[in-house]
Every structure is written in structure tokens, then in C-alpha cells.
Structure 1
Amino acid sequence: MNYIAQFAQISADLIDESAELDFIERLALGFKALVETNDVTFILYRKSALPVIEYFDEPMKGGSSNLDIFLKGAFLLDPYYLHATQKNQRGFFSLEQISPKGFKQTEYYRTWYSKSGLQDECGYLISLSDDDFVNISIGRTSSLKRFTKQELTLLNDIKPMIEMLAKQYWNKNHLAAGDSDIRERMQHALDNFGVSILTKREQQVVHLILHGHTTKTVSEELNIVVETVKLHRKHAYAKLDINSQSELFYLFIDSLMSVEKYVEGDPLSNYM
């Protein structure tokens, strides 16, 4: 049986059995039959609750503490999450399509993404009921080559089937959403990060840096020269009592981890 036939058989079996407990594991096996991958992850975003890791293949490189960083705030900077929430996009995308220029130079990449072990990634963003959505990530660690154009085309071609299976499963299996507005509060905290300390322009520069922009792309986004970007960054770092992009990232994460008691305004007001 060739890989397409094998995937078709797995999909056919799942159509009538989407409520089965092993549905997600079997769908992951389907992807593995279709393309070479050693990291399939399903991340569920329900309402405004924190993301739920429904399935992942291997213990994440960096351990549970690295996964905690993602779940407690770093996901707000994830290219797939941003593509789904800020740009309201759904479909199949390679990481290269949606990540900012210089992604590998960002602190999000250096501090979290590189520690996950991923070398290349593609995935689906699929709408569910009640504005929920699921991110199905298909990844390769450094032991494998990048996805080829042919493989990406193949995964995109089966998108209608994957969307149907995902909606059929998750819309039937209503999982508890937990704290229903914590993700909304965290997003609000991010939007107001530094507002009580920084000037408007300094805050804009800091936010763009956190979202993965380089000095050059910050310059382009704000229509100011590179030297001015560097000056605003220098002043912002001094006010935040930090010296590097790495310290900015951890200040952002630490302030968001205290978001449980956050109501409104700058999360740094009480944190610092």
C-alpha cells in the first residue's frame, strides 16, 4: 500500500469514528504515513482560555518548563497563533509563509522555539464552533531535512479532508474551556505592556521587537530611520532596567505569568 492509499484508509476509518478516544493519535499516524515527520502537535484554543496541548509526539526538548513558557504566555508570540488571531487567517501554511523576517534572530526563537527542537514546521489553522480553533502542527527536528515543495503541496491538497475531520471531532467532543477569559486578559496585558513606563513610540518599538521584528523591519513598520529605532530601544531598555532582547522576553513572560490577578492597565505597574 503506498503512502496516499494508507492515508486515505486511515481517513476513511476516522470519518465514522471521530468520537473514538484514539482519534487524535490515529490522525497523527495518518500524517506520518503521508510525509516524514517526527513531531505532530495538536493545540486547541477554546474561547478565551489558555491553549490546550491535545497531543504531541515526543517529550519537548527543554522539558516541561519550556512547555510551561509556551502555555503561560509565549504562545501569544507564536506565528501560527498570531496568524489566526491578528490576521484571522485559516488554512494550511508553512512556517516560512507566516513568520516575520529574521525569525531565527528573534528572542522568541532563541529562547523558546529553538529549544523545542523544531527545524521546520507547517500546519493547519482550522475554525471550530464558538470561535474556537485548532492548530495542527507537523514538524521536523534537526535530524530531518526541511519539507519539500511537493510535500507542502500534498499537505495543502488534503486540507478539506483535515478540516472536515477536525470539525467533526472537536465539535462533537466539547472539552472544558477552563478559565474562559484568561487568554483575553493576557492579550490585553500584552497590548498594555510598558504603557505606564514608556513613551508611545518606545512601546511601539518594544512590541514590534517582541513580535519578532528586526531593527530594520521596525524601521519600516514605523516609518522611522534605523538609528531612531535603536535610540528608542535604548531608552526603553533603560526604563525597564534590562540590557538585552533576552531580558525583555523574560520580563514579558514573567509579567504575564502574574496575569491571574491582572484586571487592566500595564501588567508591569504591580510587577515592577
Structure 2
Amino acid sequence: MINSDEIGAIAALFRATGGTDYGVALDALIRTVAAFDMSCIFGFSASCAPILIHDGYSETVDRGALRSYLRGAYQLDPFYSASIVEASEGLWRMRDLAPDAYYDTKFASSREVHPCISDQAGTLVEEIGFIIALPDGQGATYSLMRNRGGALFNETEFAKLQHLLPIVAASLRSHWRFAHQIDAPSPSTPSSDEVFHLAFGEVLTPAQCGVTKLILRGHSSVSIAENLGIAEGTVKLHRYNIYRRLEISSQAELFQRFIDYLAR
């Protein structure tokens, strides 16, 4: 049952829709049922860089990480992939969206590129997010984060947050329409595949670029094989040839090559 605090927060949220205080009002509503340390809202499209709708982590985040994220590192974020192609609208735990080897990647703990990681790498104990469908195949993620040292979102909190999904979805779609609608993408804005081609295409073949993208997103060789419909041995051969052509010897070096490209 909705209590008086939630009713007041819902009213404030809809008053703020379309304005600069929308994210703050949404955070205030969520805090009536569950505490969190940081938040953010990104609008995602397959053909454009993300739009930062709400920045609820400025006090602890390196601005360089946000620049790298917006230039292309967002494509390694499971919430990006889920927002535009994979997951149903709803509330999701990061661990339920992430590829099988995601937490072995540098992206999951790197404050160089992940704007939701605070000054000490690996300080998040959990990230959950509302995934909201937007018009024209676009999507948004409203992420809630707790820092290490705190507790995971428990099942009671998660259930209470799920009950707020219709309100979060309706308000976010209205806010998007009034304040952040993406028009036709700029011809200079690279697509997802183009980012990886620009970063590696002078050295790697298109097939190798496709494998590289999945490696960086946190897929194991088995998962890459399943995604591409090829044998696991073929994936391992691609990985060997990718490392040889780039003159590197590890996934960490591959990640750094991508980050160095984004930083240029």
C-alpha cells in the first residue's frame, strides 16, 4: 500500500517531469522504499552516443571516466545492450544481465571508463537498474548503486522497487519526450559496429572485430561461440590471431587498447 511519503514523492516527480530537477525527484521517490549511494539515468540508442539524463554520482566520479563512457565504453555496459536489444522492460540486477565472464573484465571495476565506479576501483557492492523502453527502438536505464561495505538490495527492497516500475516508466517516458528526445543521429556519430571498426579495423578483419567486441563485453569463448554460431575452437583461433595482430598477450591489454582509442 502506498504511504503518505510515497504519495508526496510521486506528486513531486510529476511536477518535475521535463525539468532539470527530474532526476533528483525520481531519486527522492526511490528512497522512500530503498536506500542507495549513487544513481544515474542514461538514454540509449543503437545509432547515437548515450544521453546523460540524470547524474547522481558527481561527487565520487572521475569526469574522464564519463567522457570515455560516452565516447564508446558504454558499449561494454550490460545495461546498454539490454536497453536496446535484449532485456524486457523491468527492474534487473546487473549480475542477471552480464555475460558469463563479465566480472573478469577490466570494465567491471575500472574507474577509467565506468562512470558508476567511484574513486577506488571496485567499490560497488551491487548495481540494479530499471530498463525502460522508449520510442523508435531506444531505451533508458535508471541505475541504483550501493557502495562496497553496504548490503545487496534484499528481496523485500527489490519487490518494493518493482511495484514502482509503472510510475518510473510513465514518468521517464514523459520526461524523455519533453526534454531529451533524440532526433536523427548526426552523420558523424559512429554506430556500435563502427566504434570497434575505428578502434581496431585497420589491423583486424571484420570477423575479428566482432569477436573482439564480445571479448570486451565479457563473454567467454563458449559464450562467443554460441552468440556467433561457430565452434569454440574457432573462437580461440580468432582470439590468438587478434592478440598476435595487435601485438598484445592478454585481455587486459586489449581493454587498454580500446580505452586508449577512446581517450584520443
Distance in 2 of aligned mates of 1:66 and 1:255: 13
Determine whether 1:163 maps to 2:169.
Answer: yes
Determine whether 1:99 maps to 2:69.
Answer: no
User: After superposition, what is the alpha-carbon deviation per residue over 1:182-209, rounded to whole angstroms, capped at 9, x for unaligned?
Assistant: 55x1413145464553456644432321
CA pair 182-91 structure 1, distance change in 2 beyond 3 A:
farther
Match of 2:10 in 1: 11
TM-score, structure 1 as length reference: 0.78
SS in 2 for 1:10: helix
Distance in 1 of aligned mates of 2:9 and 2:169: 15
Match of 2:250 in 1: 244
Structure 1 contact 119–146 (Cα < 8 Å) conserved: yes
User: After superposition, what is the alpha-carbon deviation per residue over 1:214-266, rounded to whole angstroms, capped at 9, x for unaligned?
Assistant: 2443355455346x6444322211101222212212322343566xxxxxxxx
Moved more, 68-77 or 232-241: 232-241
1:1-272 map, 5 Å: 4-45=3-44, 48-59=47-58, 61=60, 63-87=62-86, 89-111=88-110, 112-113=113-114, 115=121, 117-174=123-180, 180-183=186-189, 185-190=190-195, 192=197, 194-195=200-201, 197-198=203-204, 202-221=208-227, 222-225=229-232, 229-256=235-262
User: Which amino acid is the alignment partner of residue 154 of structure 1?
Assistant: K
User: After superposition, what is the alpha-carbon deviation per residue over 1:156-177, rounded to whole angstroms, capped at 9, x for unaligned?
Assistant: 2211111111122221225676
Distance in 2 of aligned mates of 1:246 and 1:200: 21
Distance in 2 of aligned mates of 1:201 and 1:134: 29
SS in 2 for 1:86: helix
* Aligned residue pair count: 255
CA pair 124-181 structure 1, distance change in 2 beyond 3 A:
farther
Moved more, 118-127 or 200-209: 200-209
RMSD between aligned alpha carbons?
3.1
SS in 2 for 1:173: helix
TM-score, structure 2 as length reference: 0.81
Match of 1:267 in 2: none
CA pair 31-194 structure 1, distance change in 2 beyond 3 A:
same
Moved more, 196-205 or 11-20: 196-205
Structure 2 contact 123–148 (Cα < 8 Å) conserved: yes
Percent of pairs identical after alignment? 23
SS in 1 for 2:36: coil
User: After superposition, what is the alpha-carbon deviation per residue over 1:4-56, rounded to whole angstroms, capped at 9, x for unaligned?
Assistant: 54223211333355244322211111112210101111112368432232322
Match of 1:269 in 2: none
SS in 2 for 1:51: strand
Distance in 1 of aligned mates of 2:232 and 2:137: 39
Moved more, 214-223 or 161-170: 214-223
Distance in 2 of aligned mates of 1:121 and 1:56: 15
Distance in 2 of aligned mates of 1:47 and 1:211: 16
